[in-house]
Chains A and B, each alone.
Chain A
Amino acid sequence: MALFAVFQTTFLLALLSLRTYESEVLSEPLPLTPESLKVSVNSTCQCLHLQWTVHSLAYHQELKMVFQIQISRFKTSNVIWVENYSTTVKRNQVLHWSWESELPLECAAHFIRMRSMVDDARIPKPGFWSNWSSWEEADAQNMLGHDPLFVFPKDKLVEEGSNVTICYVSRIHQDNISCYLEGVQIYGEQLDRSVSAFELKNVSFIREKGTNVFCKVDQGGVLGGIVLFVSKVLEEPKDFSCETQDLKTLTCTWDPGSDTGLTKQPSQSYTLFESFSGKKTLCKHRNWCDWQVAQDSQETFNFTLLAENYLRKRSVSILFNLTQRVHPMTPYNLLPKNVGATKATMTWKVHSIGNNSTLLCQLELLAEGKVIQQSNVSIKVNGEYLLSELEPDTEYVARVRCAYTNHFWKWSELISQKFNTAEAAPSEAPDVWRNLKLVSGHPTPLSKVHANGKILFYNVIVENLDKPSRFEVLSIPAPASSTELTLDQCSYQIHVTAHNSVGPSPASVIVVSGDPGNEEVEKGRVNGTEDGFSVSWKPQSGDATGYVVEWCDGPQDLPCVLQWKNLGPNTTSTVIRSGAFRPGVRYNFRIYGISTRRMAHLLEKKAGYLEELAPSDNPQVVMSKLTSRSFTLSWKDYSTESQPGFIQGYHVYLKPKAGEQCHPAFEKTVLPEDSVCCKYTIDNPEQKTFVVENLQPESVYEFIVTPYTSVGEGPLDAFTKVTTLDEYSHTLIHIILPMIFCILIVMIICYLKSQWLKEKCYPDSPNPYKSSVLSLIKSKENPHLTIMYVNDCVPDAIEVINKPEGSKIQFLGTRKSPTETEFTKPAYLYLLPTEKNYSGPGPCICFENFTYNQAASDFASCGHFPVTPQAPRHQLGPLTSPENLLKALEQNYMNSLGEIPAGEANLNYVSQLASPTSGDKDSLPTNPPEPALCSEYKMQTAIPLGLASAPPSENSSLSSTTLLGQGEHCR
């Protein structure tokens, strides 16, 4: 850089020398070097202002010259700007030239020099530069104070979108200086040891108080800053136009756009300039300005609106003729006059425009917000217009606006006035209809009147046609629109008139017949559309004077709001419209023909839906006749009338069990939840039963019955489960039931005969006489068997047993005949004479007493049929056979002896049932007791311990036998 500067300086010096040489050599060197060059700094605009003169010019000489100006920054060699400035120069003329610096001038010293050249055609040899003037320094830093930190430019005003260079000058030569734009740090370029510059591009408006830029020495408490005022760009005024209301004052308006005001700059000003008159006025308002038209009848105006602020000017112009910009003032005093029932006169006034000017006024008449009449009237000051064809007792709004007749520019503002026409007598008869509530006839006249005023009351005259002399007059005060009359079977003619303050309406006549009129008529359907129901009927042949269509506005389950429509005699169709019609509601229409006698005859009935809907509910289905193969469904209570559509039939859905196919009559379908179902379609809405057949026995089925309309079917949500019966269950029932019955009978008989049976089979106290056992034994074994009475036994007999040594009583064999047993009979000594009825050896009944046989008593105390724990149950059966009895006895015997070892008991008792021949121990285990030929009764005697504890031997057996014999006594 330094090398380049040295080279440049050397080159310039060489060039200067050469030029000097040339001027000397070429002689006539016009000494036109700029002189007295002065440089000043304007900080506000950051401008360098140069002024100089050219003294060398001849007197009166004027030359066109070019001045080449060089500007250097920081040092002369750092040329940053070169510009040629051409101008015409006079002698001693002070020339001026300004240069605006991007970098604030306070941040850097600037050096300026210039040279000149004659560029005038009159000079034959122009074309070489003069010498450079000496460098002039412009150093604004000298004007700074002693603060340590300065930021420039101070309070600069720029437009939005501009680029601004900020710089700071530091006197403290520290590096830790940071700068911020609205609190956000910015980074720049260091130009010098103490100068840094920051370029802010495309600055935007932030606030009227300006954008803050400040620099501070970190942790040094030194701070400097500036406020940069960024103005919004001044916009060109839009929609600039002027108009007059009175040809005396013009009012010009425009859209000013955004306000460019700042605390540093006031809002833009607006000046209105008229070129023909040369006058101008400073507007006091941002968007409008008044201009007084001079008295000299100026007609044409050429206005220029100039908007300006400190930074910019904008202008817009219009040219117009005054009379073509007349916008009349709003008319006033609009009043109705002479208001009648059908006519009214409106009057109003206008502000005059000039002399003899006429205005075209437009009068509009509105009823219910709509313009129904429109009239144009030319007036000067006072306007008047007669409105006719008005409706009586109606509210109207009249409004007026006016325009300049000579040249239409704009309508004035509107002025409005409300008024009401007067009442008139009702012009039409009230629309009357009747509702026959009972067969006997209770007509209820209803009316819809187009009245020409407020209806005060209705007069109802009831005339008995059968008895013409009888009248009944009723007065029904408004606003009632119905009344109820009680009539008998006669025919009546009813006259209804509506009355307002002016008078009555024509009468409306209706005849109610004594005939209830319940005749059967044709029923049909009617289709509803968005417009309503299109009802048509067959024309009545004969003398129909008109037709009436009657319906109820509400659903069937609500009280009927009777509506009707009168139709002419030639009409056979109409469209019934009502805002009350709802989709999914059945509406019934009755078409009446009105005869010449004003009597109504029902012609047709129609039913229809504005829009059919799918049924919302399913019928309550009753299932009956369930068998193994079928069941019956019925829904007879389901009303097809009150459904949201015409019921076309029913779908019976049946969910079969897994793997089962649908019956051919059913159609296989898939339900929304992807389950397969069988569907049967009943296309007759009146068929309300269905038999589901061909089912599998003992199977679970689910079914649902849903009605369908043209739109769809009811909800498939609640299937009912049913289980078919077992195929044989009914057969079984036929068998089981009689059996149960028989058993019951037997049980009852058994119960009734239980006492007899008990006594017969198992008495509480065994009575041998009553026991059947005896008879059984008797019959089988010995017919001579008899009963031994205990009382007959005298215990005073001594039994002496003659027991031969070594002999053993053999009791061999079983079921030996008594004759066989005699052979081994022991010898007894009978001490007492036998009873007379004793019949020798015979069967014996032994009564055993277990009282002292502890072991035995555990098993069966007092049991006649002692049973061991191991005994099978069947042994408990009734002793119906001798064998069973014997077995039981044998068992008992075995238990008595086998379970009481002699060596283990302190007391040993011997069963009385021991056979008289059982003294031989060998025979005991193997010989069950047979019904002995004699009965034994053995006294229970305590056996001494010593004896009882004797080892089991023949002796013991002997002693046992001995003891046994002590208590034994037979007869």
Chain B
Amino acid sequence: MDLRAGDSWGMLACLCTVLWHLPAVPALNRTGDPGPGPSIQKTYDLTRYLEHQLRSLAGTYLNYLGPPFNEPDFNPPRLGAETLPRATVDLEVWRSLNDRLRLTQNYEAYSHLLCYLRGLNRQAATAELRRSLAHFCTSLQGLLGSIAGVMAALGYPLPQPLPGTEPTWTPGPAHSDFLQKMDDFWLLKELQTWLWRSAKDFNRLKKKMQPPAAAVTLHLEAHGF
């Protein structure tokens, strides 16, 4: 994992707030009928920014866990982290997914990851780390809202969690601290992979959803030559 520092809290918070309220503002969705394009673009931008922010957060957190978790080439087996949603998927399978399925998977994954992340936050010992984690949770919450907005714009229903399948962060007594650290490591790693995958998804969707009028305009302009 390439984990480095550097972020801009103010800009991100502003962006998150705007995106979070996007679905709640009917005028944005209806007036002028801009389509889902701007929402997808903003979701994509937010995803890329979260990737950047995560690099800083993960660097700090893995140092907090200590070696070997903060070593660049550390790649442990996935022990006890089975409940985390996996971001890795076979390429063919991924291509076969339609937009709705992709968006649904993204939404479900970030819902789960956000829950685990909040558990991580509760466990953090230092106040500074807690602040960083809380801020990232807020940003991730913003991304969830943004995805929900895109889905709404495309007319897809939000996935409803099945009763009893609410993800809960419950470190069992048999779960040793070492395994817990491994889980934390995998949580951050999955988050990174998911953000990378989402960026690709939203980029793909963005291209797909470009309005045809733009092409006509270009055509007309070409006549001028």
Residues of A within 8 A of B (CB): 147, 151, 154-155, 180, 182-183, 206-212, 214, 221-227, 229, 261, 263-264
Can you list 11 residue pairs at the A/B interface with Cβ under 8 Å? A183-B67, A183-B68, A209-B64, A209-B66, A209-B181, A210-B177, A212-B181, A226-B177, A226-B178, A227-B178, A263-B123
In the docked arrangement, what's the CA distance between A208 and B66, Å? Answer: 10
CA A208 – CA B126 in complex, angstroms?
9
- Residues in chain B near residue A222, CB distance under 8 A: 77
Q: Digitize B119-142: 1 where CB-to-A-CB distance is under 8 Å, 0 elsewhere.
A: 000010110000000000000000
The CA of A571 and the CA of B177, in the complex, are separated in Å by 91
B61: nearest chain-A partner, CB-CB: A209
CB distance from A152 to the nearest CB of B (A): 10
Q: Is the interface of A mostly helix, strand, loop or mixed?
A: loop
In the bound complex, CA of A403 to CA of B173 (Å):
57
Given A151-B178, A207-B64, A209-B64, list of 16 further CB < 8 A pairs?
Answer: A154-B178, A155-B176, A180-B67, A180-B68, A206-B66, A208-B125, A212-B66, A212-B67, A212-B178, A222-B77, A223-B79, A226-B177, A226-B178, A227-B177, A229-B177, A261-B125
- A214–B123 Cα gap in the complex (Å)? 22
Taken together as a complex, chains A and B put the C-alpha atoms of A66 and B79 apart, in Å, by: 49
Q: Does B186 contact A (CB under 8 A)?
A: no
**Size category, B interface:** 10 to 19
- Shortest distance from the beta carbon of B76 to any chain A beta carbon, whole Å: 5
Instruction: Return chain B residues, CB-CB under 8 Å to A182.
Output: 66-67
A207 and B66: CB pair below 8 A?
yes
Residues of B within 8 A of A207 (CB): 64, 66
Which residues of A sit under 8 angstroms from B79, Cβ to Cβ?
Answer: 147, 223
- B101 at the A interface (CB under 8 A): no
B65 at the binding interface (Cβ < 8 Å): yes
Assembled-state Cα–Cα distance A248/B137 (Å): 47
CA distance A182 to B178 in the complex (A): 12
Q: Which residues of A contact B65 (CB under 8 A)?
A: 209, 212
Interface residue ranges of B170-189 to A (CB < 8 Å) = 176-178, 181
Q: List the A side residues contacting B116 at CB < 8 Å.
A: none
Pair B76/A223 contact, Cβ less than 8 Å: yes
* A925 to B: closest C-beta gap in Å: 121
User: Does A221 contact B77, Cβ atoms closer than 8 Å?
Assistant: yes
CB atoms of A214 and B66 under 8 A apart: no
Q: Which residues of B sit under 8 angstroms from A263, Cβ to Cβ?
A: 123, 125, 177
Partner of B177, one of A206, A223, A224, A264: A264
| Cα separation A221 to B67 with both chains bound (whole Å) | 17
- Kindly provide the distance from the CB of A896 to the nearest chain B CB, expressed in whole angstroms: 113
Q: Are A212 and B68 in contact (CB under 8 A)?
A: yes
* Complex: chain B residue closest to A182, CB-CB: B67
Interface string of B56-74 (1 = CB under 8 A from A): 0000000011111101000
A-B contact count (CB 8 A): 57
Q: Decide if A155 touches B66 in the complex (CB within 8 Å).
A: no
- A227–B67 CB distance below 8 A: no
The list of the 5 closest CB pairs from A to B, nearest first, reads A183-B67, A227-B177, A225-B178, A208-B125, A154-B176
A264 neighbours in B (Cβ, 8 Å): 177
Q: With CB as the reference atom, state the residue of chain B lying closest to A216.
A: B76
Q: What A residues does B66 contact at CB under 8 A? A: 182, 206-207, 209-212
Residue in chain A with minimal CB distance to B66: A212
Taking CB atoms, residues of chain A closer than 8 Å to B69 are 212
**Neighbouring B residues of A225 by C-beta, 8 Å:** 178
Given A222-B77, A263-B125, A227 contacting B68 (CB threshold 8 A): no
B contact set with A: CB distance below 8 Å: 64-69, 71, 76-77, 79, 123, 125-126, 176-178, 181
B70 (CB) vs chain A CBs: closest residue: A183
User: Which chain B residue shows the least CB distance to A222?
Assistant: B77
Q: Which of B79, B176, B178 has the most CB of A within 10 A?
A: B178
C-alpha gap A225/B69 in the complex (Å): 12
- In the complex, what distance in Å separates the CA atom of A229 from the CA atom of B178? 11
> How near does chain B come to A150, taking the closest CB pair, in angstroms?
10
Q: Which of A209, A211, A214 has the most CB of B within 10 A?
A: A209
Residues of A within 8 A of B177 (CB): 154-155, 210, 226-227, 229, 263-264
- In the complex, A223 Cα to B182 Cα: how many Å? 11
Q: How many angstroms from the CA of A875 to the CA of B134 in the assembled complex?
A: 129
Cα distance A223–B74 in the bound complex, in angstroms: 11
Report the bound CA distance from A206 to B67 in whole Å.
11
| Nearest chain B residue, comparing its CB with the CB of A181 | B67
> Does B176 lie within 8 Å of A223, measured CB to CB?
no
How far is the CB of B43 from the nearest CB of chain A, in Å? 34
Residue among B67, B77, B126 making CB contact with A223, cutoff 8 Å: B77
A212 to B67, CA, bound (A): 7
User: Are the C-beta atoms of A226 and B77 separated by less than 8 Å?
Assistant: no
Task: Report the minimal beta-carbon distance from B58 to chain A, rounded to whole angstroms.
Answer: 15
Q: B123 CB to closest chain A CB, in angstroms?
A: 7
A209 surroundings in chain B (CB, below 8 A): 64-66, 125, 181
Least Cβ–Cβ distance between B62 and chain A, in angstroms: 11
Bound-state CA distance A222–B68 (Å) is 14
A227 to chain B, nearest CB (A): 4
Contact A227 B176 (CB under 8 A): yes
Cβ-closest chain B residue relative to A223: B76
The residue among A210, A225, A229 with the most chain B CB atoms within 10 A of its own CB is A225
Nearest neighbor of A261 in chain B, beta-carbon distance: B125
Q: Which residue of A lies closest to B123 (CB)?
A: A263
Q: Please give, as numbers and ranges, the residues of chain A lying within 8 Å of B67 by CB-CB distance.
A: 180, 182-183, 212
Inside 8 A of A151's CB, which chain B residues have their CB?
178
Please give the distance in Å from A107's CB to the nearest CB on chain B.
Answer: 15
A105 to chain B, nearest CB (A): 16
CB distance from B179 to the nearest CB of A (A): 8
Q: Which residues of B contact A214 (CB under 8 A)?
A: 68, 178
A227 x B64 contact (CB < 8 A)? no
Chain A residue numbers with a CB within 8 Å of B178 are: 151, 154-155, 212, 214, 224-227
Assembled-state Cα–Cα distance A155/B67 (Å): 16
A684 to chain B, nearest CB (A): 81
Cβ of B180 to closest chain A Cβ, rounded Å:
8
Q: Enumerate chain A residues within 8 angstroms of B176, measured Cβ to Cβ.
A: 154-155, 226-227
For the complex, give the distance between the alpha carbons of A221 and B74 in Å. 11
**Complexed CA–CA distance, A209 and B178 (Å):** 10
Q: Which of B66, B68, B177 has the most CB of A within 10 A?
A: B177
Taken together as a complex, chains A and B put the C-alpha atoms of A209 and B65 apart, in Å, by: 6
How far, in angstroms, from A739 to B77 measured CA to CA in the complex? Answer: 123
In whole Å, how far is B137's beta carbon from the nearest beta carbon of chain A? 20
**In the complex, what's the smallest C-beta–C-beta distance from B95 to chain A, in angstroms?**
29
Return B21 CB to nearest CB of chain A, in Å: 37
Please give the distance in Å from B194's CB to the nearest CB on chain A: 23
Instruction: Select A227's contact among B71, B77, B123, B181, beta carbons within 8 Å.
Output: B181
**Whose C-beta in chain A lies nearest to the C-beta of B125?**
A208
Residues of B within 8 A of A208 (CB): 125-126
Q: Quick one: closest A residue to B180, CB to CB?
A: A227
| Whole-angstrom distance between the Cβ of B129 and the nearest chain A Cβ | 10
- Alpha-carbon distance A209/B66, docked complex (angstroms): 8
Q: How far is the CB of B169 from chain A (nearest CB, A)?
A: 15
Residues of A close to B181: CB separation below 8 A: 209, 212, 227
Chain A nearest Cβ from B126, distance in angstroms: 8
A662 to B68, CA, bound (A): 88
Distance in angstroms from A755 CB to nearest chain B CB is: 108
C-alpha spacing A153/B71, complex, angstroms: 24
Give Cα A210–Cα B126 distance, bound, in whole angstroms. 14
From A227, which residue of chain B is reached at the shortest CB distance? B177
A147 to B, closest residue via Cβ = B79
- Cα distance A154–B179 when bound, in Å? 10
Which residues from B are CB-within-8-Å of A183?
A: 67-68, 71
For the complex formed, measure the closest distance between the CB of B219 and the CB atoms of chain A, giving whole angstroms: 56
- For the complex formed, measure the closest distance between the CB of B42 and the CB atoms of chain A, giving whole angstroms: 37
Q: How far is the CA of A206 from the CA of B65 in the complex (A)?
A: 11
A224 cross-chain contacts in B, Cβ below 8 A: 178
Residue of A nearest to B177 (CB): A227
Residue of B nearest to A154 (CB): B176
A210 to B181, CA, bound (A): 10
A226–chain B nearest beta-carbon distance, Å? 5
Q: Closest CB-CB distance, A407 to chain B, in whole Å?
A: 43
